[in-house]
Homo-oligomer: A and B are copies of this chain.
Amino acid sequence: MTGKLAWTKIALPLGVAALLLLAWDAAVRVSGSDIFPRPHEVLRGIIQLIEQGLLLKYVVASLFRVTWGFTLAVLIGVPFGLFLGWYGWAFQAFNPMIQMLRPISPIAWIPVAILWFKVTDKAPIFLIFLASVFPIAVSAIAAVQNMQPVYLRAARNFGLTQLQLFRRVILPATLPQIITGIRIALGVAWLVVVAAEMIAVNSGLGYLIIDARNAGKRYDLVVAGMVMIGLIGLVLDLLVRQLEKFDEVRWGYANR
């Protein structure tokens, strides 16, 4: 059973990946284009980055910025979302503002970021924070508002302080849904890393992509940057999904 599980967990996605790579390669070859890189060219690009010692540097730089921006987003977005979800008046007051702010592109925020944070790492961190805090807040608000009534009633019955109520009932009751929101937001955080690293930073995978796009015909490096971001995204998502294994949230998941 475990043997079979491990097999499908590894072999299936690898098979799919192999098929995709072949399709990609074939498509480029058939199109006769010399603009778009073929998989082995991308690999060569990655190797070149490794040799230059840039890959690790860029990965670390982006991870640093995303980690900060995203952690701040979680630390602020979850409590804020729970708060708004629970207190109707707060929701009425602030929800329209949230809904207005969240669709605004990080690119539009760049001038503000520069003004506030100059050309430091804080500027991209701010942009990443801004893009990911709203999905988290929205999912936390929705999770509270969709809580099962019977837990609410039971909770209200025991005369908890507000803090206890949040800590011991609302948070755990909403955690499974919030984790889904966090997973989506983590993707969004990386989604804006390229825009965020437009700001005068000379490192990072987003910078790599911008720089390679500016360079003549280095789409092998553009794709290399995309692949690296994708791989990191995959690993981070796996890590976040480990949270779902904790006893405190397992109740929210059907047995798979």
CB pair B194 A108 closer than 8 Å? yes
A39: min CB distance to chain B, Å? 14
Contact pick for A105, options B100, B102, B209, B256, CB 8 Å: B209
Copies of this chain present: 2
* B15 and A100 within 8 A (CB): no
Number of interface residues of A (CB under 8 A): 84
A3 interfacial contact with B, CB 8 Å: no
The interface residues of chain A, by DSSP majority, are classed as: helix
Task: Find out whether the CB atom of B188 lies under 8 angstroms from the CB atom of A188.
Answer: yes
Is B103 a contact of A233 with CB atoms below 8 Å?
Answer: yes
- A8-26 contacts to B, CB under 8 A, are 8-9, 12-13, 15-17, 20
Closest residue of chain B to A8, judged by CB?
Answer: B92
A71 cross-chain contacts in B, Cβ below 8 A: none
Verify if A184 is at the interface (C-beta below 8 Å from B). Answer: yes
Cα distance A100–B16 when bound, in Å? 13
The yes or no answer to A187 lying at the interface (CB within 8 A) is: yes
| A232: chain B residues within 8 A (beta carbon) | 103
Q: Which residues of B contact A206 (CB under 8 A)?
A: 105
- A residues lining the B interface (CB < 8 Å): 8-9, 12-13, 15-17, 20, 33, 35-36, 88-89, 92-97, 99-108, 110-112, 115, 131, 134-135, 138-139, 142-143, 145-149, 152, 176-177, 180-181, 183-184, 186-195, 206, 209-210, 213, 219, 222, 225-227, 229-234, 237-238, 252-256
